[in-house]
Structure 1
Amino acid sequence: MTVPSRRRTQQERREHTETALVAAAAEVVVESGVRALTLARVGERAGYSRGIVTHHFGSKQGLVDALARSIQGGFVPGLDAMDPGLGRLLALVDGYLHAVTALGTANRAFLLLWAEAATTPELADTFRDRDRGFRADLRVDVEAGIAAGDVRSDADPDAVAVAVVGQLRGIGMQRLVDPEGVDTERLRHDVTDQWRRALRAG
């Protein structure tokens, strides 16, 4: 006997559509560049109309925000389950470098958009906010590590946060431009160990 398939709820259909549109946006950025990212092109790529893209995201800015949020939020799985501190910071460094080893479409799109944000005002706000959030999480880890006695007491949480983000983003961009010359999988241990030695108390 054939079991009838369950019909998706309106919320599930909405989430499915938004996921498809965000994935299509990432593909357009990687294949054709940021300038080619238009609502019409994304809709066509995903098999929907431009009107559907506008309905879900409102504007190109809204689409870029959703794309950046979806990618950055899942860049290093498992961090949300970890307590703040040195261990989580090191897991982030290691996981980030592992993620850029096999740069998928979404991660490539994020790095391309991030680089373009320096000269594109409509991207700048989105990526400034994302980087501020990234640094804020790192500051929490450093402060928690100091409080627990795992991180040296004279470590400057703001300085560490800026340096970690700068290093990881820089390595990611090098990997994007020269994947044969930048072996991020080999770098994982060295970079993670650099931060362990730089921050560890005692």
Structure 2
Amino acid sequence: MSVSQPLIHDRPSHAERTALSDARMVDAAVGLICSKGATKTTLKEVGEIAGYSRGLASQRFGSKDKLFTFIVRSVGELWLEDLRRAVLENIGIEAIEKALDAHYAFIVRDAPAIRAFYILWFKSIGPDEELKKVVANIHDRRRKDVEKWLRKAIFAGEISKEVDCKSAAQNFCAAIIGVVYQWLANPADKEQIKALHETLKLQTILSLRRNSVGSMT
């Protein structure tokens, strides 16, 4: 075996180098979005802060909106993975409780990336169709997850069949976005954010139980 073989073997592949540069540029973009806002973030700065040429971010992503879409999709997938691990096979009220606990832990565990994710989430209200599509897809998957938990709970007899699963899921997901807005406005107050998650948990449980009791009277 020649001495050059270990060096060749240890050299990162093109895919590994690409993944590393992507990760560094995403980290740079997250920092800029959190400190300057999405509008003032530029691809030039992203490349420079990541330690690469000014044009690499533009070459890799094509446009700022495509970079933003990449960030939202990447962080969104991390959240959905966390959610699946937290909820497991639980349904109904238990699934709601575990999902809210997981969401609180998620936003306070990795605040810069999650803060950037939700800044871009609210930015999707604007004209960027690609970003809007990605955010809408994540939101739809969240809503369908909640709806599925409720339908399974109805089938198991845990909550009443009178519960409107689709409306309940829509209201729940909308309420979470309201909590997120409070967090973006005051990220340092973790006690308030925890209390808002707990309040939403209690309100959702009471609503589901009230509907269930009402259907049996």
Distance 1:151 1:15 in 2: 46
Q: Is the 8 A contact 1:101 1:175 kept in 2?
A: no
Partner residue of 1:47 out of 37, 41, 51: 51
Does the residue aligned with 2:160 lie in a helix, a strand or coil?
A: coil
Q: Gapped runs of 5+ residues in structure 2?
A: 1-5
- Report the TM-score when normalising by structure 2: 0.77
Change (3 A) 1:182 1:114: farther
Q: Structure 1 runs of 4+ off > 4 angstroms? A: none
Alignment of structure 1 residues 10-159 onto 2, 5 Å: 10-75=14-79, 78-81=82-85, 82-83=88-89, 85-86=91-92, 87-101=94-108, 104-122=111-129, 123-159=131-167
Distance 1:102 1:183 in 2: 16
Deviations 1:94-119 (A, max 9, x none): 22133334661111112211222223
Q: Gapped runs of 5+ residues in structure 1?
A: none
Amino acid at match of 2:118: L
The farther-off stretch of 147-156 and 118-127 is: 118-127
Q: Is the 8 A contact 1:100 1:184 kept in 2?
A: no
Amino acid at match of 1:166: A
The farther-off stretch of 181-190 and 150-159 is: 181-190
Distance 2:116 2:36 in 1: 11
1:190 counterpart residue number: 199
- The answer to which structure has the higher helix fraction is 2
Amino acid at match of 2:147: R
Q: Is the 8 A contact 1:84 1:140 kept in 2?
A: no
Q: Give 1:30 shift.
A: 0.7
Q: Percent identity between the aligned chains?
A: 25
- Report the TM-score when normalising by structure 1: 0.82
Aligned residue-pair number:
200
Give the CA RMSD over aligned residues: 2.8
Bigger CA radius of gyration? 2
Distance 1:84 1:68 in 2: 27
Change (3 A) 1:136 1:61: farther
